[in-house]
Structure 1
Amino acid sequence: MDRPVQQCLVGFLKTRVATLDNPRDLGEALSGAKLGNYWKYRVGDWRIICDIQDRRIVVRVLRIGNRREVYR
Protein backbone atom coordinates (compact mmCIF):
# COMPACT_ATOMS: atom_id res chain seq x y z
CA MET A 1 0.00 0.00 0.00
CA ASP A 2 1.54 3.28 -1.04
CA ARG A 3 1.94 6.31 1.19
CA PRO A 4 -0.97 8.43 -0.18
CA VAL A 5 -3.40 5.53 0.40
CA GLN A 6 -2.07 5.08 3.94
CA GLN A 7 -2.56 8.78 4.65
CA CYS A 8 -6.09 8.68 3.24
CA LEU A 9 -7.06 5.71 5.42
CA VAL A 10 -5.53 7.14 8.58
CA GLY A 11 -7.18 10.48 7.82
CA PHE A 12 -10.54 8.73 7.48
CA LEU A 13 -10.12 7.02 10.84
CA LYS A 14 -9.04 10.24 12.56
CA THR A 15 -11.60 12.61 11.05
CA ARG A 16 -14.64 10.40 10.50
CA VAL A 17 -14.49 7.51 12.98
CA ALA A 18 -12.61 8.95 15.97
CA THR A 19 -14.99 11.90 16.22
CA LEU A 20 -18.12 9.74 16.59
CA ASP A 21 -19.78 9.01 19.93
CA ASN A 22 -20.82 5.65 18.50
CA PRO A 23 -18.44 4.25 15.85
CA ARG A 24 -21.27 2.01 14.59
CA ASP A 25 -23.06 5.08 13.21
CA LEU A 26 -20.75 4.75 10.21
CA GLY A 27 -19.88 1.60 8.28
CA GLU A 28 -21.52 -1.81 8.29
CA ALA A 29 -21.55 -4.95 10.39
CA LEU A 30 -19.97 -8.02 8.82
CA SER A 31 -21.71 -11.37 8.76
CA GLY A 32 -20.69 -15.01 8.77
CA ALA A 33 -18.99 -17.33 11.21
CA LYS A 34 -15.49 -15.95 10.68
CA LEU A 35 -16.12 -12.19 10.52
CA GLY A 36 -19.54 -11.83 12.18
CA ASN A 37 -18.28 -9.93 15.22
CA TYR A 38 -16.49 -7.25 13.21
CA TRP A 39 -17.34 -3.98 11.52
CA LYS A 40 -16.18 -2.60 8.16
CA TYR A 41 -15.58 0.88 6.86
CA ARG A 42 -15.43 1.49 3.11
CA VAL A 43 -12.90 4.01 1.83
CA GLY A 44 -12.85 3.94 -1.97
CA ASP A 45 -11.57 0.51 -3.04
CA TRP A 46 -10.20 -0.16 0.44
CA ARG A 47 -11.86 -1.78 3.44
CA ILE A 48 -10.95 -1.31 7.09
CA ILE A 49 -11.98 -4.27 9.24
CA CYS A 50 -12.40 -3.34 12.91
CA ASP A 51 -13.23 -4.83 16.28
CA ILE A 52 -15.27 -2.24 18.19
CA GLN A 53 -14.96 -2.62 21.96
CA ASP A 54 -17.97 -0.92 23.51
CA ARG A 55 -16.92 -0.70 27.15
CA ARG A 56 -14.06 1.66 26.37
CA ILE A 57 -15.22 2.87 22.94
CA VAL A 58 -12.11 1.52 21.26
CA VAL A 59 -11.93 0.80 17.54
CA ARG A 60 -9.16 -1.71 16.95
CA VAL A 61 -8.15 -2.03 13.30
CA LEU A 62 -7.62 -5.70 12.47
CA ARG A 63 -7.01 -5.54 8.76
CA ILE A 64 -6.84 -3.07 5.90
CA GLY A 65 -6.88 -4.23 2.32
CA ASN A 66 -8.27 -3.92 -1.15
CA ARG A 67 -11.91 -4.92 -1.38
CA ARG A 68 -11.03 -7.94 -3.55
CA GLU A 69 -8.64 -9.38 -0.99
CA VAL A 70 -9.51 -8.18 2.50
CA TYR A 71 -12.15 -10.80 3.30
CA ARG A 72 -10.01 -13.82 2.40
Structure 2
Amino acid sequence: MADISLLLLPIFGESWMKIYSVELSERFKKEFKKLDKYTQKIIRAWIDKNLVETENPRAHGKDLTADRSGQWRYRIGDYRLICIINDNKFVILALTVGHRKDIYDN
Protein backbone atom coordinates (compact mmCIF):
# COMPACT_ATOMS: atom_id res chain seq x y z
CA MET A 1 0.00 0.00 0.00
CA ALA A 2 1.32 3.44 -0.91
CA ASP A 3 2.18 5.99 1.75
CA ILE A 4 -0.65 8.57 1.88
CA SER A 5 1.84 11.45 2.11
CA LEU A 6 3.32 10.39 -1.22
CA LEU A 7 -0.14 10.29 -2.79
CA LEU A 8 -1.02 13.78 -1.53
CA LEU A 9 2.30 15.36 -2.47
CA PRO A 10 1.34 16.15 -6.09
CA ILE A 11 -1.90 17.78 -4.90
CA PHE A 12 -0.65 19.87 -1.98
CA GLY A 13 3.08 20.09 -2.59
CA GLU A 14 5.61 19.74 0.19
CA SER A 15 4.30 22.64 2.28
CA TRP A 16 1.23 20.79 3.53
CA MET A 17 3.38 18.86 6.01
CA LYS A 18 5.16 21.87 7.54
CA ILE A 19 4.53 22.62 11.18
CA TYR A 20 5.57 25.72 13.10
CA SER A 21 7.63 25.89 16.25
CA VAL A 22 7.40 28.64 18.88
CA GLU A 23 10.37 30.67 20.07
CA LEU A 24 10.28 33.13 22.97
CA SER A 25 12.00 36.51 22.88
CA GLU A 26 13.79 37.86 25.95
CA ARG A 27 11.13 40.55 26.27
CA PHE A 28 8.39 37.91 26.26
CA LYS A 29 10.18 35.95 29.00
CA LYS A 30 10.55 39.11 31.11
CA GLU A 31 6.90 40.13 30.73
CA PHE A 32 5.66 36.56 31.26
CA LYS A 33 7.50 36.32 34.60
CA LYS A 34 5.63 39.42 35.82
CA LEU A 35 2.26 37.68 35.43
CA ASP A 36 0.64 35.78 38.28
CA LYS A 37 1.02 31.99 38.24
CA TYR A 38 -2.60 31.35 37.25
CA THR A 39 -2.36 33.65 34.23
CA GLN A 40 0.98 32.09 33.26
CA LYS A 41 -0.65 28.67 33.33
CA ILE A 42 -3.57 29.83 31.12
CA ILE A 43 -1.25 31.47 28.57
CA ARG A 44 1.16 28.52 28.49
CA ALA A 45 -1.73 26.10 27.93
CA TRP A 46 -3.17 28.30 25.15
CA ILE A 47 0.19 28.49 23.36
CA ASP A 48 0.67 24.73 23.66
CA LYS A 49 -2.82 24.03 22.33
CA ASN A 50 -3.02 26.60 19.53
CA LEU A 51 0.50 27.47 18.36
CA VAL A 52 2.97 24.69 19.15
CA GLU A 53 3.23 22.38 16.12
CA THR A 54 0.42 24.12 14.27
CA GLU A 55 0.19 24.07 10.50
CA ASN A 56 -1.65 27.42 10.37
CA PRO A 57 -0.48 29.99 12.95
CA ARG A 58 -2.84 32.60 11.52
CA ALA A 59 -6.02 30.63 12.31
CA HIS A 60 -6.38 32.02 15.85
CA GLY A 61 -4.80 35.44 15.39
CA LYS A 62 -5.25 38.80 13.75
CA ASP A 63 -2.67 40.67 11.74
CA LEU A 64 -1.80 44.08 13.10
CA THR A 65 -1.44 47.31 11.13
CA ALA A 66 0.34 50.67 11.22
CA ASP A 67 3.54 50.61 13.31
CA ARG A 68 2.92 46.94 14.17
CA SER A 69 2.55 45.80 10.58
CA GLY A 70 3.92 42.27 10.16
CA GLN A 71 3.02 41.32 13.72
CA TRP A 72 0.16 39.09 14.84
CA ARG A 73 -2.07 39.41 17.88
CA TYR A 74 -3.60 36.49 19.75
CA ARG A 75 -6.38 37.03 22.30
CA ILE A 76 -6.09 34.97 25.46
CA GLY A 77 -8.89 36.21 27.69
CA ASP A 78 -7.95 39.73 28.82
CA TYR A 79 -4.35 39.18 27.72
CA ARG A 80 -2.69 39.61 24.34
CA LEU A 81 0.21 37.74 22.82
CA ILE A 82 2.14 39.61 20.11
CA CYS A 83 4.13 37.51 17.64
CA ILE A 84 5.97 37.56 14.34
CA ILE A 85 5.39 34.62 12.00
CA ASN A 86 8.40 33.58 9.92
CA ASP A 87 7.08 31.44 7.07
CA ASN A 88 10.55 30.76 5.66
CA LYS A 89 11.72 29.06 8.86
CA PHE A 90 8.29 27.91 10.11
CA VAL A 91 8.80 29.76 13.39
CA ILE A 92 6.43 31.82 15.51
CA LEU A 93 8.44 34.32 17.57
CA ALA A 94 6.58 35.46 20.68
CA LEU A 95 7.59 39.10 21.13
CA THR A 96 5.62 40.11 24.21
CA VAL A 97 2.57 39.33 26.33
CA GLY A 98 0.47 41.53 28.57
CA HIS A 99 -2.91 42.80 29.63
CA ARG A 100 -5.04 44.19 26.81
CA LYS A 101 -5.21 47.66 28.38
CA ASP A 102 -1.48 48.28 28.11
CA ILE A 103 0.01 45.77 25.64
CA TYR A 104 0.10 48.31 22.81
CA ASP A 105 1.67 51.13 24.87
CA ASN A 106 5.26 50.07 24.12
Unaligned runs of 5+ in 2: 1-34
Which residue matches 2:52?
18
Deviates more, 1:62-71 or 1:12-21: 12-21
Unaligned runs of 5+ in 1: none
Runs of 4+ in 1 over 3 A off after TM superposition: none
Matched letter for residue 64 of structure 1: V
TM-score by length of 1: 0.92
CA distance in 1: counterparts of 2:42 and 2:89, whole angstroms: 25
The equivalent position to 1:55 in structure 2, one of 70, 76, 88, is: 88
TM-score by length of 2: 0.64
Which residue matches 1:2?
36
Aligned Cα root-mean-square deviation (Å) = 0.9
Compute the displacement of 1:7 (Å). 1.1
Over the matched positions of the two proteins, sequence identity in percent amounts to 31
Return the index of the structure with the highest Cα Rg: 2
Higher-RCO chain (CA-CA 8 Å, sequence separation at least 6): 2
CA distance in 2: counterparts of 1:26 and 1:19, whole angstroms: 14
Compute the displacement of 1:25 (Å). 1.5
Compute the displacement of 1:18 (Å). 1.5
Tell me which protein shows more helix as a share of its residues. 2
Alignment partner of 1:25: what SS? coil
Compute the displacement of 1:19 (Å). 3.8
Query: Alignment length, in residue pairs?
Result: 71
